[in-house]
Amino acid sequence: MTKGKTKKKSGGSGVLKFSLYILFILAAVLFIRYFCLMRTVVEGSSMEPTLNDGDNLLVDELSFHFTGPRRFEIVVFPDREQGGYIIKRVIGMPGEKVEIFEGSVFIDGNLLQGDTYGAEPMADAGVLRDRAMLLGEDEYFVLGDNRNDSVDSRSEGFGAVRRRQIAGRAFWRLLPAWHFGPLKRS
């Protein structure tokens, strides 16, 4: 029989490892929440039929640090007057001239192709009734999909949205469960 010393395991090292594990998980969750993803809820009917009142969305904030919005993406930006967030679709890109004529959007004098989101022609061109809007190098023209019931870039006091105002792009619907899944861009 061999005599030897047995090492007594310290209960403290297991607790320390577990605590570090929990701290790591908490740090990862906080990083994802504050720098990568955000959840928001649709309020109102301005994005119907694509999004409905009460839909819960995930918003990608991280990729906006590397790429800007693309035409027809759904973007989210803070509502400066009422708090919360505004959800709209990008229609006009930086440097473009946007016009609305007979209910349709024209970009740089050409009818916007691929705009299948607005269900019906716009009854009101808003501030673009008598003029075009020339977007700056960091400005985007946004519209709700429910074009005749949306406060958007056509509206007095709303105007173009600056790049730095945009929090991210909506990419996934969480609720209602029967619509769970990715949001289509085009």
Question: Catalytic site residue 88?
Answer: yes
Name residues whose C-beta falls within 8 Å of residue 169's C-beta, 6 or more positions apart in sequence: 59, 60, 63, 64, 69, 73, 74, 75, 76
Examine residue 27 and state whether it is found in any structural domain, yes or no: no
Examine residue 30 and state whether it is found in any structural domain, yes or no: no
Q: 46, 63, 97, 184: which is the annotated catalytic residue? A: 46
Question: Catalytic site residue 13?
Answer: no
Summarised one tens digit per residue, pLDDT across range 117-166 is 876 788 888 888 888 899 999 999 999 999 888 888 998 888 899 998 89
Q: How many domains does the chain have?
A: 1
pTM, rounded to two decimals: 0.78
3-state secondary structure at position 103: coil
Examine residue 150 and state whether it is found in any structural domain, yes or no: yes
